[in-house]
Amino acid sequence: MHDAVEIVREIGRAAASVPAGETDLLGDWLLRQAGLPAVPDLLAVAQGNASDDMRLIRDGDKVMLSGTAHRVAWASRSGRLVALVSDSAANFVVCVSFKRLTITPGESLAGESRDAVTADAVTLTTDEIAAAPQLEGVELRARGAATRTLMIQGAVDVVVELVSGYCAMRKQFGRRLRDFQVVGHQLALMRERATLVSAAAELASAALDGSGSWEDAATAKIVAGEVAGQIAKTAHQLHGAIGVSEEYILHRYTRRLWAWRDEYGGEDEWATRLGATLVDRGPNKLWPWIVS
């Protein structure tokens, strides 16, 4: 798990347009939860967005999959779709070849594959579906949120390095940018926020290795998403016009920060869910949760 986490973080640092964690941290994990056999393909995973409407249809002994999953990462580059689907009886994990599904290509703000996947009454075999009664949708979204938090941390570290280097080199009115008080203040804030993301990434890692919970992943994604927006904004302000040019590397990272902060739930979704959970537990359990 430690190696997998580091790989995901490095993909963020490299701004690499490749799947990060979809197969091993999400797809294979889902298959294991349901006792389904491992497959040799790259796996794309349905995020479980509110707009998704994938469902199971039963006709006698047959079980069919219908509906659409939206903004599935790297569906057009993968071999199979893995999704958590609910019906009146329980939650089920399905693993279906994309040869039996319809893909409508799409892209994220960063130009990465985010496709719509549609199933039209696809009959499932016994090795393509299994019950996962103990698995909740929040757990899958939390793991996805944790992977995005790690990627955000990697990208944030590089953005801070880019901005620091640029402000040390660039001169204005005969002085380096970093020597202006207001710029030095913004650089200090960026480093402070990068430290926050590093702490959030530790929570995300704990959620992935089983020592933490979905609440840790939720907290991490809230912090990482908010900081991603702040750092991207400051980076472009301090770079000026060069920061928005196609030839300069900054946009490769900031566009990913803006895209990743929304995937597997943005700050509003996770704050609402986490807040409702804590309120339900009552006031006496709030402080112990904060300091645990």
Contact 108, 114 (CB under 8 A): yes
Both 111 and 157 in one domain: the answer is no
Phi and psi at residue 134, to the nearest 5°: -90, -5
Domain count, the chain: 2
* Residue 255, domain member (yes or no): yes
Give me the percent of the chain exceeding a pLDDT of 70: 100
Helices 2-14 and 137-169 pack at an angle, to 10 degrees, of 50
- Residue 14, classed as helix, strand or coil, is helix
Q: Please state the pTM of the whole predicted model.
A: 0.94
Classify burial at 258, counting beta carbons within 10 Å of its beta carbon; exposed 0-12, middle 13-18, buried 19 or more.
middle
Domain boundary among 131, 154, 179: 131
CA 80 to CA 9: how far, in whole Å? 24
- Residue 66, classed as helix, strand or coil, is strand
* Residue 54, domain member (yes or no): yes
Both 59 and 8 in one domain: the answer is yes
CA 292 to CA 288: how far, in whole Å? 6
- The DSSP element (H or E) to which 121 belongs, if any, is strand 114-123
Span 44-75, pLDDT tens digits: 999 999 999 999 999 888 999 999 999 999 99
Span 16-45, pLDDT tens digits: 999 989 999 999 999 999 999 999 999 999
Both 235 and 270 in one domain: the answer is yes
Contact 74, 41 (CB under 8 A): no
Domain boundary among 79, 114, 131: 131
pLDDT value, residue 123: 96
Task: Please give the residue range of the domain that contains residue 22.
Answer: 1-131
CA 148 to CA 9: how far, in whole Å? 9
For residue 122, give the CATH number of its domain: 2.40.110.10
**β partners of residue 57:** 64
Fill in the DSSP letter of residue 49.
Answer: -
For residue 187, give the CATH number of its domain: 1.20.140.10
Span 167-201, pLDDT tens digits: 888 888 888 878 888 889 999 999 999 999 999 99
